[in-house]
Structure 1
Amino acid sequence: MDAFISSFTAVAVAEIGDKTQLLSLFLAARFRARGAIVAGILVATLLNHAASAWLGVWVAQFIPHGWHNMLLGGSFIAVALWLLIPDKDDSEDNGMLRYGAFAASCMLFFLAEIGDKTQIATVILAASFEQAVWWVIVGTTLGMLAANVPVVYAGSWLMQKISLKWARWSACTLFIVLGIYIICSDQLAALS
């Protein structure tokens, strides 16, 4: 259950102000079929994060045991600093829009997630929780939906109420704390 909670929280927080959240806002402005947009986000996220999680499990086998927590914690700190760089909405008019809300959402979301912070976080989380990879996939997918579904349904109003600068700094702090905790977890366990 730790894998699910960590994955859900990390992705839901990291997604605030992310380019895929801006993409959700763009899609909601283009299409009235909110359910089709959400279904496209769900399918794209499941496919992208499942591939990312399995990559994380594969990579974890090559990391020497004593280095695992240092690399993992360092990765969380690197993602934390990356969160401070605002994303831009690069979803200008595009040929994919002609395929409708579901197909456009699915294709654009899948492509936008490639190399994104939340995809990297999924790889890192799967490497950390390699025995619970399915919980990582479920957690990251639901975290993505938790951050994007409200934008699809109430995007303009929501974006006016939430300070993206505050959200980025909060997410950065959370990832730094998680990174430090992971790095120090062996020492904390030894003290117990």
Structure 2
Amino acid sequence: MLSSFAISTAAIFVAELGDKSQLLAMTFAARYRAWQVLLGITVATTAVHAASVGLGVGLGSLLSTELMGLLAGAAFLGFAAWTVRGDRLTDAERNAGSNRVGSAVLIVTIAFFLAELGDKTMLATVTLATQQHWLGTWIGSTVGMVVADALAIGVGLLLGKYLPDRLIRYGAAALFVLFGLWLVVDSLPAVLA
């Protein structure tokens, strides 16, 4: 379980770098207190990643370990391409934080929950859950995302305008390529046998 936690934390942290959720976190941090934003992110992430792990465990029980490893490697290579392409906030997403109706935590929770549905971090969590222990994956993926978004809040507010977006995107993509190639190389011989 500890290795699942470590792998999931690292993979989702990397997946979240340069993601639109980080942009959303920075936007909300400009309007609400940091603890409110972090709490909303944590609640939304916990729920989305629980569903992702459930989906991954279901898929993992239907397909062979070797085939899932190959599919996971291909998915990580896809995540690398997605990361290089980058995410952008729409005007509606950018302005979501300006509505002060209701609780700030509730607003952030709902916005993050909706933003994460079908996002690469959700899909990465599904992929990891097909290969790793479910509880370690759930906790690790949640921790990885919350830490990455906390970093976005802290660093983004102070240095965001000085950090080159391309460097962050390409660094994260390179790590996805490494994870993906490792999974493909590890699984391909067993699938072809």
- 1:141 is paired with a residue whose SS is helix
| In the alignment, structure 1 residue 172 sits paired with structure 2 residue 161 | no
Counterparts of 2:113 and 2:29 in 1: how far apart (Å)? 17
Q: Residue 146 of structure 2 aligns to which amino acid in structure 1?
A: L
From the superposition, tell whether residues 153 and 175 of structure 1 become closer, same or farther in structure 2 (CA, over 3 Å): closer
Amino acid at match of 1:24: A
Task: Quote how far apart the aligned CAs of 1:65 are.
Answer: 4.2
For 1:92 and 1:26, locate their aligned partners in 2 and report how far apart those are by CA, in whole Å.
Answer: 7
Preserved contact between residue 14 and residue 117 of structure 1 (Cα < 8 Å): yes
What is the alpha-carbon distance in structure 2 between the residues aligned to residue 158 and residue 106 of structure 1? 25
Aligned CA RMSD, in angstroms, stands at 2.0
Q: What are the within-5 Å matches in structure 2 for residues 4-83 of structure 1?
A: 4-31=5-32, 33-83=33-83
Report 1:157-168 matches (<5 A).
157-168=158-169
Q: Does 1:135 align with 2:136?
A: yes
The question of whether the paired residues in 2 share the 8 Å contact of 1:16 and 1:164 is answered with: no
Matches within 5 A, 1:61-140: 61-90=61-90, 91-94=93-96, 97-129=100-132, 132-140=133-141
* Post-superposition offset of 1:161: 3.9
Alpha carbons 1:151, 1:158 under 8 Å: kept: no
Are the aligned partners of 1:56 and 1:125 in contact in 2 as well (CA < 8 Å)? yes
Whether the 8 Å CA contact 1:83–1:168 is kept in 2: the answer is yes
| Unmatched segments (≥5 aa) in structure 1 | none
What is the percentage of aligned positions where both structures have the same residue? 33
Deviation of 1:2 after TM superposition, in Å, equals 1.9
How far the C-alpha of 1:154 sits from its partner, in A, is: 4.3
Aligned partners of 2:15 and 2:120 also within 8 Å:
yes
Distance in 2 between the 1:86 and 1:187 partners? 29
Equivalent residue pairs, number: 186
Which one-letter code corresponds to 1:35 in the other structure? W
Alpha-carbon distance, 1:36 to partner: 1.4
Q: Residues 38 and 65 of structure 1: is their aligned pair in 2 closer, same or farther, counting only changes over 3 Å? A: closer
Q: Would the alpha carbon gap of residues 96 and 123 (structure 1) be closer, same or farther in structure 2, given more than 3 Å must change?
A: farther
Corresponding residue SS for 2:62: coil
Describe the SS at the equivalent of 1:89: coil
Consecutive unaligned residues of structure 2, counting only runs of 5 or more, are none
TM-score, normalization by structure 1: 0.89
**Whole-Å Cα distance in 2 between the matches of residues 66 and 155 of structure 1?**
40
In structure 2, relative to structure 1, the CA distance for the partners of 1:161 and 1:69 (3 Å cut) is same
Contact 1:96/1:108, CA 8 A, preserved across alignment: no
